[in-house]
Amino acid sequence: ENGEIIAKPRSSYNDEDRKSVQLNAKVKHIIICAINSRDFNRVLISMLVHEYEMFTMNENEDIKSMFTRF
């Protein structure tokens, strides 16, 4: 409704959801095996930096909740 994505509980996954999760896991494994550890670490650090830079306080969120989420 407001653009927020809500994760579907695993208990309500159907066959299509399970296949999608399994395919995603296989693809992640292939990517990890295809690159060397130096490149993997570089990508991981880049993703973490991006996530850190994009971190903001949500509307109607108090500081304690924000730091818990952080």
Helix (H) or strand (E) holding 12: none
User: Averaged in consecutive runs of 10 residues, what is the pLDDT profile of the chain (70 residues)?
Assistant: 77 93 94 87 93 85 85
Distance between CA atoms of residues 9 and 11, nearest Å: 5
Q: How many CA atoms lie within 13 A of 13 on its CB side?
A: 12
For residue 2, the model assigns a pLDDT of 65
CA 28 – CA 22 distance, rounded (Å):
10
- pLDDT given at position 66: 85
Judge residue 40's burial from the number of C-beta atoms within 10 Å of its C-beta, 0-12 exposed, 13-18 middle, 19 or more buried: middle
